[in-house]
Chains A and B, each alone.
Chain A
């Protein structure tokens, strides 16, 4: 299911925990699996469950809890807008509306050209930087006013 390289990386993660607590590595394993496969399909989650000796539904709980995990294919750039209270009070609603209008998609949708996917995120722990957008699960974009969003989109579209 997963490449030998990914499995090796997962094994490294597993080794960080006591032998009878392999399941502690589930978050890292899912992240590595997603890196390889692009998203976490049912089969991938099932495989990770078997690999770590967990119940498949327990893996599903983790995979569905965090917005960084994608249970369905996403576009080339995944934009995750924090819509929790501090961000919402500081312009996240406008930022989201602006993004939706610019991209022509709603939450959890991908642009027809497959370049952008828009998602709602939960608090990224950077309320002082509100509104916050997480780009491709890795890069945090702060103070996302409509102008900043336009600039970001232009850059990503290059």
Chain B
């Protein structure tokens, strides 16, 4: 416990720890000191000078944000001297600030405007010309159209350096000629860039998609939860005229702190997209007919009943999106089981299900998100961390600066913008061996017997360095990313990680891929024995499919198998918020409501159960998925479908206080089936590495127009190591024809020295690659197109 300092602010005594500032002391007392450049999550710049306060014995006013608190200090934040200083700074700040509040997007939620009311004069004494700063174009998300408004607090610059981990904005020039710019016209591409809009205290950085569409005081603010990645970011959804106008972070220090990713922030554009499905539709011949809900659901019930009696219930398969709510998944599973089918799953991109029966509980992060920062050693395996989990990456980025050693084992060399202690990149097929090497080296470092799983491994230098780092820690976390979960030998990787955790006394867990990757397990939306999992359901096609928020050609681990299964099916019911390619193969389209239009629950990767209400009414005839399934259950005369509220559905599936008891990453008896294996032989075959780019990951974000214009949403390319490109004889930039499992795609070739040899990285989740096969399968050929 560090010594506490006693000081006086405005005559009130307060205690703060050593190293705290006067600003901290004032905040502790609830005293507001006006400020612009100070932000609790950023480093101290002290360049706006707005927080000047009077300090006893100091000859001049001191900036509260940068003045360390001292024992016995006396501070006055509202004395004559302090006030005069604050008023003068405000006058200086307003000298060059345009008087355009009436047409400024920030008007009404502007810190400068608010503070000018309290500290500014009614009229300016400055009669000379104001300076003009030209606008800049930095991409489709952040608008820098009115840079004359900038007061050079550098919050955006520091945000980039410190939080996003990449300095994309800087302050050019000096003095009166200072300007916030990117490097010679480049764009801002960080996946966290939208937070710069929030922290900009004036109207210099504004939201491009939101600009001029509403005033802050016209918007109702409603709480919600992000439907995208496993973090479960808390959101404030702002609504006008029953339409979502924008999304902002709801501060929750335990989850998203005060940030959200651009995906969480800008995906709302997808909710208002032209592609929304608004009426139930039935296929009729080659066309579609809009019908009433009653007719549509009766048709579904009749056809499902017919298929069950003619071919057996096991010919029905139910697939839910991992972004669906807990309630929707629970009812879909209940409906399928009510019909007599055990074929229900939500793990659409998973390839290896061999540990399903051996799981002790639902796989989860293994700890609280807020505890990530306290770990001293971390191993992340198989994760495109920055893009898959932007804010978990940020937690590790901050912790790494404080001394946490983060090691990364991955199938691509993408920079997570974390100061990594170690990094090892290998081909997907070599991933189990690499992890086994680490396991072996860690066992040796800790002086423990080498587990049978790692007996065949021969630890190389990279593995030894990682193991040495991990073995030297006292509070270690091991995390398996999306690429491990989607890996064709995920079971083995899990067993290796579990063994490694045992040796190190570490905690291990999954970085949950989607908003409800944990919730799906709790909702029992997974097949029990004799049921088919998501992969089996598509590889041995069923006659009927129930799709809940799924776009099989984009959401499944093997889009080719998925598309073929859908095309061959007799009856496909697509419950979706969007008109999708289902138009080609479905027989019934049922418009279900996205997260903003239904009540529901997401269970985040840390096992946090977060229920939310709809923030707007469903669009036209769309209806909440749980209600659609409830009525369908009634029409099929299944027992137990009499719910009045989504809470009843949730509590039946998993009461909030029961979540913790159902989380468990351990699998038992997995070792017996997995013997030690020799190091993989290099083969001539090319392996595919498939990331799911951040803005292709789910149906809502795919339709978010502005996000789709970012760099991260470029059409996928076929990336490979330059040596492989040379062997194929095609230069970067040329088009190549890629063949996999009988399907093909024509893509641009790109060279990436960070990729392992003989691998081709081709993103999943995009129409351009939907004709290809398994995400981590073998590539048949790559040749000049």
Contacts and interface: CB of A to CB of B under 8 A. Distances in A.
Contact of B170 (A42, A46, A58, A122): A58
B684 to A, nearest CB: 35
A60 B167 CA distance: 11
Given A57-B181, A57-B183, A64 B173 contact: yes
Interface string A20-60: 00000000000000000000001001100000000111111
A83 to B, nearest CB: 11
A56 B173 contact: no
Chain A CB count within 10 A is highest, among B172, B173, B182, for: B172
A58 B167 contact: yes
A64 B186 CA distance: 16
Contacts of B173: 64-65
Contacts of A56: 183-184, 186
Nearest to B177: A64
Interface in B171-193: 171-175, 181-184, 186
Interface in B153-170: 161, 166-170
Given A57-B167, A57-B168, A61-B170, A122 B183 contact: no
Contacts of B171: 61
A64 B172 contact: yes
Contact of B181 (A45, A46, A60, A122): A60
Nearest to A20: B419
Chain B CB count within 10 A is highest, among A55, A59, A61, for: A61
B166 A60 contact: no
What is the interface residue range for chain B against chain A?
10 to 19
B754 to A, nearest CB: 15
Nearest to A60: B183
Chain A CB count within 10 A is highest, among B167, B168, B169, for: B167
A94 B520 CA distance: 78
Contact of B184 (A42, A55, A58): A42
A29 to B, nearest CB: 16
B169 A122 contact: no
Contacts of A60: 170, 172, 181, 183-184
Nearest to B182: A57
Contact of B175 (A42, A45, A58, A122): A122
A78 B418 CA distance: 43
Nearest to A55: B167
Contacts of A55: 161, 166-168, 170, 183
A87 B434 CA distance: 67
Contacts of A57: 167-170, 181-183, 186
Contacts of B170: 55, 57-58, 60-61
Contacts of B184: 42, 45, 56, 60
Nearest to A41: B184
Contacts of A46: 183
A64 B179 CA distance: 10
A53 to B, nearest CB: 12
B85 to A, nearest CB: 22
Nearest to A42: B184
A60 B181 CA distance: 9
A56 B182 CA distance: 9
Interface in A64-91: 64-65
Contacts of B182: 57
Nearest to A43: B184
A64 B161 CA distance: 19
Contacts of B172: 60-61, 64-65
B174 to A, nearest CB: 5
Contacts of B186: 56-57
Contacts of B166: 55
Contacts of A64: 172-174
A27 B314 CA distance: 72
13 contacts: A45-B183, A46-B183, A55-B161, A55-B167, A55-B183, A56-B184, A57-B167, A57-B169, A59-B183, A60-B172, A60-B184, A61-B171, A122-B175
Interface of A: 42, 45-46, 55-61, 64-65, 122
Interface of B: 161, 166-175, 181-184, 186
Given A42-B184, A46-B183, A55-B167, 5 more contacts: A45-B184, A55-B168, A57-B168, A57-B186, A60-B170
